[in-house]
Structure 1
């Protein structure tokens, strides 16, 4: 299932876009866009899909999604059935945030936040409640007030722990590639892994590409990436497999080969260890969520006026 492209219209006088979405049920809408997205979901429970991450979510779920990473939420019930489900969505371009941090050291933490969000971040319990305190300003009719509120939210989030979500994978050509924040030797290794993950990758080959000894590469890689070289390669391969499982009907045996696994048994074993489900179950989750969304589409008429879906087979309905 290909992710639909969403166009976010900021308007000529705004550097962020805030959307107050209110629905009876949040539908499955697998999509991507080139902006960062911070979403606070309230009065809703269901499944959250961020890249290849599939997880349950509940009250005050707060997630930061990086550019071009496919994502969606799909609710199965409201916490208070008498009230609508609500999402407060903030879209912004990371380029101006990084420039702001360059000239204003008070915002240095924002660069680290965007770097940490390369695979998506789910913030700890309590972060969504803190963001609630800023909702009135985020929904102000004055662009400057909304901008300041968004900066305040991003600033306090930069100091909070959060859980990475998606694997570094083929969902976006830039996800999992060098960020410029790692030493150049590590960048060369990451680039090689990103382009050659479907082939056998020996530590000796990666060490030669980095110009480091195998021992030094292992130490520096763990220091900067937080995991071993082998674990990182496996996550890249599984991420690529997840993209093929959601975007295509390619047989699982072929996906295993194209993702760099020596055989289907090894692929199934490592996939289940990573995702707590088999590749077939993973594919069926997306197919099942899509079917449920199509059945309920007639009842879901609210759409963001700032999002224009470029998908011929769906009808766009403005809120």
Structure 2
């Protein structure tokens, strides 16, 4: 299932777009866009899909999604059935945020936040409540007031811990764990893994590429990335497999082979360790949610114009 492309219209003379979405139920709309997205979801609970991360969410869910990483929320019920489910969505371009952080020391923490968000970040409920308390400013009619509110919230989040979501290399979004601060030798190893993950990768070959001994590579890799070389390679392979399971209908055995696993049994075992479900179960998470949305009447959704057009094109294609 290919993710639909969403065009985000910022309007004239605006640096950020704030979208106040209210509806009876949040639908499954698997999509991506080139902007960063900060979304606060209220009065809703269900499943959140960020790249290959599938997680149950509830009240005051706050997530930062990086550019071009497919994502969606899909609610199963409202917390208060008498009021609408609400999503406050903030879109912004990372380019000007980085420039602002470079020029103004007061915003230096934003660079670290953008770096940490490479795989998506989920914040705790307290952070969601903090943003909720500032909705008046975020939804102000004055663009300058909205911009200042967004900067204040991003600066606040930059100082908070958060949970990374998607796997490295999931969905080809350049979400690998490299941060730009690792030594050049480690970056060479990461680049090699990214391009050859489907092939057998031996520690001795990676150490040679880095110009290190195997022991030094192991020590430096763990120091800078927080996990072993083997564990990182497995996560990259699992991320690629998740993309194939979501975007294609090819058999699991082919997914395993093209993702660097020598046999299906090992692939199934490693996948279940990483995702707490089988590859087939992971695929069903997406296809099942999509089928459920197809059964809904159009009046239950409020899709952006670009997603509406994508849906119409798909309908026309099916009718040919």
Instruction: Bin the TM-score by the shorter chain.
Output: over 0.9
Matched residue of 1:171: which SS?
Answer: helix
* Shift of residue 262, structure 1, vs aligned partner: 1.2
Separation (CA, whole Å) in 2 of partners of 1:60 and 1:170: 26
Separation (CA, whole Å) in 2 of partners of 1:95 and 1:65: 15
Query: 5+ residue gaps in structure 2?
Result: none
Query: 5+ residue gaps in structure 1?
Result: none
* Shift of residue 173, structure 1, vs aligned partner: 4.4
| Higher helix residue share | 2
Check the 8 A contact 1:4/1:309 in 2, yes or no. no
* Shift of residue 210, structure 1, vs aligned partner: 1.4
Partner of 1:313: 314
Separation (CA, whole Å) in 2 of partners of 1:26 and 1:173: 25
Partner of 1:273: 273
Size of the aligned set, in residue pairs, is 315
Q: Is residue 285 of structure 1 aligned with residue 288 of structure 2?
A: no
Q: Which moved more, 1:132-141 or 1:72-81?
A: 132-141
Separation (CA, whole Å) in 2 of partners of 1:92 and 1:145: 15
Partner of 1:65: 65
Q: Which moved more, 1:37-46 or 1:209-218?
A: 209-218
Partner of 1:174: 174
Matching of residues 163-202 of structure 1 within 5 Å? 163-176=163-176, 178-202=178-202
Check the 8 A contact 1:119/1:175 in 2, yes or no. yes
Separation (CA, whole Å) in 2 of partners of 1:33 and 1:142: 25
Partner of 1:232: 232
Matching of residues 33-112 of structure 1 within 5 Å? 33-112=33-112
Matching of residues 76-155 of structure 1 within 5 Å? 76-155=76-155
* Shift of residue 215, structure 1, vs aligned partner: 1.8
Separation (CA, whole Å) in 2 of partners of 1:182 and 1:139: 39
Q: Which moved more, 1:297-306 or 1:94-103?
A: 297-306
Separation (CA, whole Å) in 1 of partners of 2:306 and 2:128: 23
Separation (CA, whole Å) in 2 of partners of 1:257 and 1:303: 37
Matched residue of 2:219: which SS?
Answer: helix
